[in-house]
Structure 1
Amino acid sequence: MPPEDHPDRDGGTPSVSDEQWAELVRQAEAGGAGAPKEPSARARMVTARLRAQDEEAARAQGAGRRFGRKPAEPWTPDGWRTGPAWQEMNGRRRRRRRLVGTLGFVAVLAALVIAMRPSLLTDHLPGGGGSADTTPLSAGTAPSEASGADPATVDEPFRGSPALSWADGAEGIEVPEAKAVGGMSRGEVEQALRATRQLLVAANLDPATLRGEKPQEALDLLDPLQKGERARLERSIADPSEKQDPLMMFSRFDPDETRVVGDVVKTSGWMTFEAGRSGSVEVHADYTFVYPLVRAGGGEEVARTIVRRKLTTALYDPERFIATRGKLSVVSAQQNVGNTSCESEDGFLHPSFPSDSSAPSPTGPEVDPYDREEWQPDGACGTVTRT
């Protein structure tokens, strides 16, 4: 036999495996038939190596117990049985798609939730904040008088109203302290906050807007690159309808019917901000405005209309988005209105005065328009408990 083929030579190819030699050794020790009476050098070497491996494993296991380590678990490759079940993963994706679909439906209703690009729509909608609630509440039969409260007068238009202690106009719209978020600098966040404040003032407090004029200052704050939004608002002012209603963004009264008493509108609410998609910041505003009104032809009788608005705006980095630097995009807008006609679609708020008797009786539930704890859902025309 050539030296390189001998099973007991280093580098040779053994004709019998280690396990087979070990079995022969065990048979020899037990006196089994056919076993060699004295194991060869190869058998003794294999036996010694196997014993040494067993002793080493026993020592390692004992050390693991002493130091509190758990024995290693056997590795099993991920598969359709052992890995994350594909059915469950698919279910999670399906739930996300359903959420996006729901938000898309709400955006259609709102007509104000418009993204600059279709791919950005779901990224900029806040969870549950994209609906278009426009719940008008009729005054019914003069709730202030029915409750025995002192009626408002031209000299004291907020008498008997919780708004009496609220801030006057723009003083009630306070801007929180800015900080860098969403990849936007502190200065950019502050710009978004101040621009949102300007938009609220121009849309809800500016005398020209309240008189039903075109709210040009408010429109100029909006990004012309936000697809269709500014043009849609301008069309709603020029040709208002149920689906194209400027009241979704602006507080407007018919100058031939009513006018605001004095120059004070009461305001209460809050403003916050958070990071949007990387390269943007979103500002959330929730404010209630109380308007004291008299008839355009004169008189001493005063009515009050209460408008609560929820508005979310966004400021985008033009280096990352299709956007105009410093201009706001409207993410969502909602409103609740207390004391206005439920049937009108002319783009104006129409308050009911205490002496009015021809107004149709509302059929919806009673609602306190000053209650800022709950948001009134969209639905039937309700009855305000007070104005």
Structure 2
Amino acid sequence: MSEKPSDDQSSASGLPDDVWEQFARDTERDIRSSAPKEPSARARMVTERLREQDARGESPPGWRTGPTNGRASPRRKLWAVLGVAVAAAVVLVALKPSLLPGDPFGTGGSQAADASPLPAETAAPTAAPGASDPEKPTLDRPFAGSPALRWAEGEAGIVLPEAKAVGPVSEDRVRQALKMTKKLLVAANLDPKTVRGARPAAALSLLDPKQPELFDELNTGLRSPSREHDPVTLFSRFDPDEVRPAGDVIKVRGRMTFEKGSQGGVAVRADYTFVYPVVRADGPPEVTRTIVRRVLDVELADPARYRVTPGRLLLVKYDQEIGNSSCDLYDGYLHPGFPSSPSAGPTPSGPATDPYDRSRGIDHGDGGHCGTVTRT
């Protein structure tokens, strides 16, 4: 497409021959690359088909016009709204699984997720526990509808305070007294044999036998219970022919304090509430609960100064308050009432009390009348 210039032209331009030839080749290549090209047969067919679809209004989505906004955007907005709703529903169900019919996750009820355990009680409460969901207890959830749902289980509910020396009594001696008091509470109220009505031998072994009147009273009550000698004033016992525990868990809440004792040792006060779910020994699996609050004053005396048995506790005083048990039945057992059939005995006529209210002291100013409980 170009000719080599004559010698006159090359000389006139002042350019060497090799430079001029390179210039000619580059110019020819650029002209060829920019020239129109004839489309292939396939390209002509595709173009013609798209032109015909466009004329009939059948252009595929995205052809020339790009994606439409009439449906795509609203659909994204709709799913965004639905996503928020679904997320909220998931959170709500996680917090309260019973909202789903049939309990598909096997949580056993509405309180399973929000029944976080309470911290240990370190001081007297200022009020009764708040109201609980009005749920009926079942074999799977025997503490449903009870403040005790958030209480610790068994021995874990008896948390010892930090031991410190009191006067001449060493820290180790105080620690020993606290541990022995816990053992007494466990043996008298949590030991499976004791709860099922057996003789509380382990609890008796912790008490100083050099309290003859105390042992006479306790042994008489266990052998021949009566109004004057009733072992349930110190031991939690159920008649195995009447009821059996609804599971293996007993809920416990309370606190323990200590100070210098009157007999050269350390005095310990224990104030604990025990919640027992039970069912009838023979009958429908209906669950009820008996609530027992116990306040014990014991002392680990100084055997070098007083006539006591080393390593045994002096039981100075004990008191109790029992919720949901028959009045005027003194056979050595607790007799809980069931919703379908109240317990035997006279109709309660005393004041109504909340057995879960640990903010008040134990009051016996009812004139000897049986009271009622506001909840179990």
What TM-score range do you get, normalising by the shorter chain?
Answer: 0.5 to 0.7
Partner residue in 1 for 2:160: 175
From 362, 373, 380, the equivalent of 2:359 is 373
| Residue 234 (structure 1) aligns with | 219
The equivalent position to 1:189 in structure 2, one of 169, 174, 179, is 174
Q: Which residue of 2 aligns with 1:384?
A: 373
**1:155 matched to which residue of 2?**
140
**Cα pair 2:335 2:343 within 8 Å, conserved:** no
Correspondence for 1:362: 348
Q: Which of 193, 214, 234 lines up with 1:249 in the alignment?
A: 234
Verify: 1:272 aligned to 2:257, yes or no.
Answer: yes
Taking structure 1 as reference, are residues 356 and 278 closer, same or farther at Cα in structure 2, changes over 3 Å only? closer
Give the aligned residue type for 1:247: V
* Aligned residues with identical type, % of pairs: 56
Shift in Å at residue 264 of structure 1? 0.3
Aligned letter for 2:179? Answer: R
Ranges of 4+ aligned residues in structure 1 off by more than 2 Å: 357-361
- The aligned residue for residue 27 of structure 1 is none
Identify the match of residue 317 of structure 1 among 285, 299, 302. Answer: 302
Provide the secondary structure at the position in 2 that maps to 1:287: strand
Alignment correspondent of 1:201:
186
Whether the 8 Å CA contact 2:254–2:273 is kept in 1: the answer is yes
Asked whether the equivalents of residues 247 and 347 of structure 1 are also in contact (C-alpha less than 8 Å), the reply is yes
Instruction: Quote how far apart the aligned CAs of 1:260 are.
Output: 1.0
Counterpart of 2:356, as a letter, is: Y
1:220 deviation in Å?
0.3
Tell whether the 8 Å contact from 2:320 to 2:362 is kept in structure 1 after alignment.
no
- SS in structure 2 at match of 1:225: coil
How many residues align? The count is: 242
Deviation per CA, 1:17-71: give whole Å up to 9, x if none: xxxxxxxxxxxxxxxxxxxxxxxxxxxxxxxxxxxxxxxxxxxxxxxxxxxxxxx
Aligned residue for 1:152, secondary structure, equals coil
Among 278, 281, 302, which residue is 2:266 paired with? 281
- Tell which structure's C-alpha radius of gyration is larger: 2
1:1-387 superposed matches below 5 A = 149-277=134-262, 279-356=264-341, 359=344, 360-378=346-364, 379=366, 380-387=369-376
1:182 is displaced (CA, Å) by 4.2
Q: Given that residues 183 and 278 in structure 1 are in contact (C-alpha distance below 8 angstroms), is that contact kept between their aligned partners in structure 2?
A: no
Distance, in Å, in 1 between the alignment partners of 2:317 and 2:180 is: 16
Residues 180 and 369 of structure 1: CA distance in aligned 2, closer, same or farther (over 3 Å): same
| CA–CA distance in structure 2, aligned partners of residues 259 and 312 of structure 1 | 30
Q: Distance in 2 between matches of 1:301 and 1:375?
A: 31
SS at match of 1:198: helix
Distance 1:364 1:285 in 2: 27
TM-score (norm 1): 0.60
Q: Provide the C-alpha distance between the structure 1 equivalents of 2:177 and 2:285, rounded to a whole number of angstroms.
A: 41
Q: Is the 8 A contact 2:325 2:343 kept in 1?
A: no
> Alpha-carbon deviation of 1:292?
0.1
Kindly indicate whether the alpha-carbon contact (under 8 Å) linking 1:363 and 1:383 is maintained by their aligned counterparts in 2: yes
RMSD: 1.7
Contact 1:212 1:348 in 2 (8 A): yes
Residue 148 of structure 1 and its aligned partner are, at CA, apart by 8.3
Decide whether the 8 Å contact of 1:182 with 1:276 is kept in 2.
no
Deviations 1:69-103 (A, max 9, x none): xxxxxxxxxxxxxxxxxxxxxxxxxxxxxxxxxxx
* Whole-angstrom distance in 2 between the partners of 1:278 and 1:361: 45
Q: Distance in 1 between matches of 2:156 and 2:262?
A: 31
Measure the CA separation in 2 of the matches of 1:191 and 1:264. 27
Higher RCO structure, 1 or 2 (CA under 8 Å, sep 6+) = 1
Runs of 5+ unmatched residues, structure 2:
1-130
- Alpha-carbon spacing, 1:357–1:270, altered in 2? closer, same or farther (3 Å): closer
Bigger drift between 284-293 and 357-366 goes to 357-366
Distance 1:278 1:292, change over 3 A: closer
Displacement, 1:186? Answer: 1.3
Q: 1:278 to 1:182 in 2, by over 3 A?
A: farther
- TM-score, L = length of structure 2: 0.62
CA contact (8 A) 2:337 2:343 kept: no
* Per-residue CA distance 1:350-386 (angstroms, 9 max, x = gap): 0000001574431112111111111242122111111
* Deviation of 1:275 (Å): 0.2
User: How far apart are the structure 2 equivalents of 1:248 and 1:241?
Assistant: 11
| Unmatched tracts of structure 1, length 5 or more | 1-143
Are 1:273 and 1:281, in contact at CA under 8 Å, matched by a contact in 2? yes
Amino acid at match of 2:349: T
Q: What is the one-letter code of the residue matched to 1:299? A: P
In structure 1, distance between residues paired with 2:194 and 2:248 = 13
